[in-house]
Structure 1
Amino acid sequence: MKHRLLTCLLCAGFTGGAFAASLSPGTLLAIDQTAGAQQRGALFTVNQSNGQRTVFSDFNSSAQGAVGVDPNALAWMAPQLLGLIPGAVLVTDGSGGTGQRGALYAVNPSSGQRTLLSDFGDATQGPLGLYPQAVLAVPPGLLSWSGVLVCDPYAGTNGQGALFSVEANGHRTTIIDFGDTSGYQGTYPDSMALYGGLLGLGRSVLVADGSAGTSQHGVLFRIDPVAKTRTVISDFGDSSQGWVDPNPASTPIGVAVSPGNQVYVLVAEVGAHDAGYVVRVDPSSGYRTLVSNLDDTSQGAVAVNPTGVTWLPQFGGLGVSDSLAGTNGNGAVFVVNPATGARTLLSDFGNAGQGATGTEPSGLTVTQ
């Protein structure tokens, strides 16, 4: 499976910077898998003006609720979803829960307190997971589905991935089994984004699969959570749909959508040093265009091991997390201009001058 194993980096604890206050709309959040004294992870806020970081929820601290094991992805959930007031930051933990089969936490946006929303190792809450690593909160829209989705690349038939819906009581149902024969089969679905329709009509969920498609180069699925169907928008190994990386190990690992419904996919393990690319995908034709080569110094700061991507309204661009860039390889967050591909370093997670240090940032989201 084309999935880079996570390295466990030594950390002596957080340095520089106090805990953050309650979250305000437009706050950039980053989840770090191995930050903190016991390497159980942390949820950071990142100032979009100067890259300054503060710890909002320390997954090493039982004083803030359920402790983490391997928190790996996050999403903002609006207050009206699941009746959790005043909203929450949802965080998946690939190795949390019963039997280390995964967990979904809800983080209080006022205090950073964590509660276990769904234990993916508890069969009484629904189908079991194995390593959930993506979460998406779909807000209510006109005549469209809303709720919380969690993607697990190892669940489902033959371990080919599954997409779960999670209710307020933590109960799970399978929306999509990527290993069944009801549609194009997946291999390693690993990330999600919401594709919006006009006035909320025709919305769908985009899921990137790192190993499906021609020559296992990956695909981008469109999911209808109401009909529980899946179709392929773009096959990353199909040259008739544009850019194809010659490296057979290349793998889509993230997807983001702009307010204008431009679709961007983060592809890892490509380029001269496996630094990755950002690719724009036409949602109608599936045609791919290279936006930014993350290893090209002429386009700005270079990446090492990109891990996640999100749209940053403040910049009108993309935020990309990287688990091995920055000072001492402690990670970084870059901003990518989608028009030019130019990159700037926003926050260096190894630089104590920018606040609490991290070790392995793996995902980003912005509060609404």
Structure 2
Amino acid sequence: MADRIFNFNPGPAALPLQVLKEVQQEFINFKGSGMSISEISHRSALFEDVLNDAIVRFKRLLKLSDNFKILFLQGGASSQFFMVPMNLLPEGSSADYINTGSWAKKAIKEAEILKKTCNVIASSEDKNYSYIPKKFSVNPSAAYLHFTSNNTIEGTQWAQFPDGGGVPLVSDMSSDMLCRSFDASPFGLIYAGAQKNLGPAGVTVVIIREDMLERASKDVPTMLRYSTHADKNSLYNTPPCLAIYIVQLVLKWIEESIGGLDAMERRNREKADLLYGYLDSTDFYRPTAEKDSRSLMNVTFRLPDEDLEKKFVAEAGKVGLGGLKGHRSVGGCRASIYNALGLDGVQSLVDFMKTFAQKNG
């Protein structure tokens, strides 16, 4: 659409235009009900169809076995920072964590607030989180190994997930969920705030293996217990119906319009190769992540000085390239090239970057 920009925001982030149009068409009168999706009962057959279809599509896309449950929760991924240790880390046990950036550090902090035994077995803080650690030793008796799959702020991503040696993996995949195919069998739990790659803000997807559900003691408050929501198919209380509906449409788009996760991964790698390829060809822009740790989703880079960075962001916005300012904690620039952004958006960004460098280099 002529009046829409190329949206590089890190979250809330771009949604597929096809999905937005479908929401627009159905919003006033959902499936002939005479009501909006935001008005119908979460107990109605209409909404349960939406919810169950989203679950089926998630399982199909990730090739999940029957021993995984899909939950739709509230509170954002940040609430999972404490829900994970509350549920999965019984008294007397310990968990291993890998610190690769701001969000991983916050997850560690929440476990420590709960006075849980949390061992940080590797960290990339020594180089401003510009890389993914390669060497670490997992405690074979750890309750789980927690890591952040993609670091939105620092622009790094695990190219291959860590080997837990049988210890269940737990991962925050908020910013790269469904960007590529992977084997989910080593994971005990995966969580993701929807607002980066799955849908709008307001719902968090939790994928949990059934054997992990009964770890929580009865002292965990009812609403914070994963088994509560698993037992009620995410309908223990009123869920964020509108957000779940949009997630369902995004999953449908990935399956039916893109062709699944293998096709999505090819699309994402093509976008990333185009942008990193240009960044590596010039001295005017400097990528901040080490090459073998670069994210497919969040491309972080610096210009020669901060004044030029401000000018770059401002001028990009004027030509319909939005959301390129880096996170306030690290500065610089960042292009979030999530699933919904097409190759044409990245090409437009590269073309602008070339012209800006010629004028200001």
TM-score range, shorter chain: under 0.3
TM-score (normalised: structure 1):
0.25
Computing the radius of gyration over CA atoms, which structure comes out larger, 1 or 2? 2
Name the structure with the higher strand share: 1
Q: Which has the higher contact order (CA 8 A, sep 6+)?
A: 2
